[in-house]
């Protein structure tokens, strides 16, 4: 049995509304995560003598941020002890999952990859 035009229109409107609601939800989550990422970045700059901070992933692309997204940081210039202390204190500042990497431990090809896809958000002068 063929669908009537009004049924097709109603289905399209329903799907459009659900899509807008979903995008709005993800945008709100991204705003919260971005605020937390900024707070963590400032904490790193103020409390650690890091050379550079790189971010990548969906935190840089709001249209890709979802409820399972995390906040990605690569930090350069910290000792092992400083790095683990930073991770512990950063976890206290957000409810989002954090992904921290020590820059020095990354292979060169991965460093290049992160610099292409990511963003240097701090560099000591």
Domain ranges of the chain: 5-123
Specify the pLDDT at position 1.
66
Q: What is the pLDDT along the chain (125 residues), one digit of tens a residue?
A: 687 888 888 888 889 999 889 889 999 999 999 999 999 999 999 999 999 999 999 999 999 999 999 999 999 999 999 999 999 999 999 999 999 999 999 999 999 999 999 999 999 98
Backbone angles phi, psi at 96, to 5 degrees: -85, 155
pLDDT reported for residue 51: 97
Give the pairing of strands 98-102 and 71-76: parallel
- Tokens of residue 72, six digits: 């990605």
Written out in words, the top-level CATH class of the domain with range 5-123 is alpha beta
- Residue 8's pLDDT is 81
């Amino acid at each position: 049995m063929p669908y009537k035009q009004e049924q097709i229109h109603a289905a399209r409107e329903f799907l459009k509304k659900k899509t807008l609601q979903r995008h709005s939800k993800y945008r709100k989550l991204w705003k919260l995560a971005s605020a937390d990422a900024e707070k963590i970045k400032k904490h790193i700059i103020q409390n650690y003598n890091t050379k550079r901070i790189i971010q990548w992933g969906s935190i840089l692309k709001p249209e890709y941020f979802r409820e399972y997204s995390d906040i990605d940081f690569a930090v350069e210039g910290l000792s092992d002890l400083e790095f683990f202390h930073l991770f512990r204190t950063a976890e206290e500042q957000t409810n989002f999952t954090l992904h921290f990497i020590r820059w020095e431990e990354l292979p060169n090809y991965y460093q290049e990859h992160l610099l292409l896809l990511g963003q240097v958000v701090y560099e000591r002068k």
